[in-house]
Amino acid sequence: MQIRSTGEAEFNHPQAEVFQATVRAIEAIPHMSIDQADAASGLITAKSSASMWSWGENLSLAVTADGDATTTVHVTADPKLFTNVTAGHADRKDVDEILAGVAGILGSA
* pLDDT recorded at residue 82: 59
Identify whether the C-beta of residue 87 lies closer than 8 Å to the C-beta of residue 79. Answer: yes
CATH numbers and ranges of domains, the chain: 5-107 (3.30.530.20)
- Provide the strand spans (E) within 2-91: 5-11, 32-38, 43-48, 57-65, 71-79
Q: Kindly report the pTM of this predicted structure.
A: 0.87
Residue-wise pLDDT tens digits, 13-61:
999 999 999 999 999 999 999 999 999 999 999 999 876 556 788 999 9
Question: Measured between alpha carbons, how far is residue 3 from residues 14, 17, 21, 24, 78 in Å?
Answer: 32, 31, 27, 26, 7
Q: Hey, what amino acid is at 84?
A: N
* pLDDT recorded at residue 1: 45
Percent of the chain with pLDDT over 90: 65
pLDDT tier at 91, thresholds 50, 70, 90 = low
Sign of CA dihedral 29, 34, 37, 42: negative
* pLDDT recorded at residue 83: 54
